[in-house]
Chain A
Amino acid sequence: MKRIYLDHAATTPVRPEVKKIMDAFQSDYFGNPSAIYFEGRQAKAALDNARKLIAKILSVEADEIIFTNGGTESINLALLGISRQHRNLFKKPRLITSRIEHPAVLETMKQLAKEGFEVIYLPVDKFGVVKTEELKKALNKQTLLISIMYANNEIGTIQPIAKIAKIIKDFKNRVGTKAQAQIPQFPLFHTDACQAAGSLEIRPSKLGVNLMSLNASKIYGPKASGLLYVKKGIELKPIILGGGQENKLRSGTENVASWIGLAEALKLGQKEKAAEAKRLRILRDYFIKNLLKIPKTFLNGHPRNRLVNNINVTILDIEGEALILQLDKYGISASTGSACHSKILQPSHVLMAIGLDPATIHGSLRLTLGRDTKKKNVDSALKVINKVVKELRGLSAVNIQSNENKK
């Protein structure tokens, strides 16, 4: 049985071109970039070039890029590093984020709340778009940092990052603060762009962000490889201490092969972005249209402003984990926001935030397409989903009244 992998938002396979170049740096060019002899200089030169390549793609300076061990670490470094470095400029420093962020943001915010920061969680509308009016209300002179994700990992909704940046800029121009007198960029704006790199504009200057987190494992690069972009002139406290690598901001021997893999994956992805986004959008809409033909189903997330590869539907009367296990049996890999699927037995905070009630969250199904997904795979998946849904509904104890219009 050939499996159909439809969980590219979870992770992607390393593409062959990336694997090839990484293999070389794992074995043949293995030197430690801190060493001054040949192997060390060789590794350092390679890493420098990878950094320059990424800088060119992002239209930023090479020294504005800090390599990390993945998206979660980038986000931790951004939020903890910025907040802890600058807290003394404020009486009661405020952090603003949204209710639908990735746990990497939400858990870090929880930690910062324990450290005395005031954290504001912005609500979202029924499509998962951050309510910008609420942001305007939340911005005050004590605001240190705003962190809003670019595109949501569960429902695919794309946030109006440039519009949010404009609101923050307008606030800056209107209100002068003590902190701004020292660092004019305050309050700072960070975006978690981990899900966005494959299909959206990611140049920080176009988005209006001061910090941005990216990772490789969502764009056909290696796992445990990411970067944090930090606008020049903004200082932050490191969260990993040691030999002072990455401009003293991220100690630990450089993960040369993985970071070169990240650069290569980003380069190849950017080249193909426009054509691939167009192809995936058509495939996504076809998938959604046919899924919604199943009775008692509805789409979660924004109908148009969503990632080109993201599909998230609720299928009433069945539970997500049972559905995933059945699909898995037929060789289809997918994901759900059901509580039973999570390690903590909590239903998806994203689906809660867009106003779904727990009974319907249990029936959510996320399918995320990728480079290798073809129309015939979608057709096969649709066949299996229809069959499995019928079976599971056949033994289900509930029959929720259809509420497609209730949302």
Chain B
Amino acid sequence: MKIKNKKADLILKNEVPWLYSENVKEYFFHPKNFMKPEEEKKFKFNAYGEAGSAVCGDLMKFWLWIDPKTEKIKKARWRTFGCGSAIASTSALSVMITEKGGMLIKKAMKIKPQDIIKRLGGLPSIKIHCSVLGDEALREAIEDFKRNQNKK
């Protein structure tokens, strides 16, 4: 955001930084792959998982379509109740697991909060514990997929 006052500019250097990194800003203001209300009933998935609680202030849900043959994550949808960094971290994770033709579930199981934080270009340390729950929800979803496969 530009500041008009010329004297103030001497100190501000004509820029006001955002609260988090530029990547967080992008993933927060332009969330990718979230479950739109209108597609909720239509979206085909074979894996579902969630993590967190509304009381703590962060709750994340993941719906996945995993190709049973290749075991790659072909589609992902999410919903998050939480602060800006929580929304951004789920948004980033959904891109990580579906880009380049989809991630193998074996690899997806190994995603750690640090991997998501790296993708976000860093987070304030106080925010890490609460806002990066996406990996947990993702593992829950993959476990759900495995259970569903075993039933067949």
Could you tell me which A residues sit within 8 Å of B by CB distance? 317-322, 325-326, 329, 338-341, 343, 345, 347, 357-359, 362, 394-398, 400
Contact = CB atoms under 8 A, between A and B. Distances in A.
B59 A397 contact: yes
A398 B36 contact: no
Contacts of A347: 57
A325 B50 CA distance: 25
Contacts of B131: 340
Contacts of B59: 397-398
Contacts of B19: 325
Nearest to A361: B57
B57 A319 contact: yes
Interface residues of chain B: helix, strand, loop or mixed (majority):
mixed
Interface centre among A322, A343, A358 (most CB of B within 10 A): A322
Contact of A322 (B61, B79, B82): B82
Given A317-B81, A340-B57, A358-B55, 6 more contacts: A319-B57, A338-B83, A340-B83, A341-B83, A398-B81, A400-B54
A358 B84 contact: no
Interface string B107-134: 0000000000000000000110011000
B80 interface: yes
Nearest to A357: B55
A395 B35 CA distance: 7
A394 B79 CA distance: 8
Interface stretch (B26-34, B67-75, B95-103, B140-148): B26-34
A321 B31 contact: no
13 contacts: A319-B86, A322-B84, A322-B86, A338-B57, A340-B57, A340-B127, A362-B54, A362-B57, A394-B37, A395-B80, A395-B87, A396-B81, A397-B60
B79 A397 contact: yes
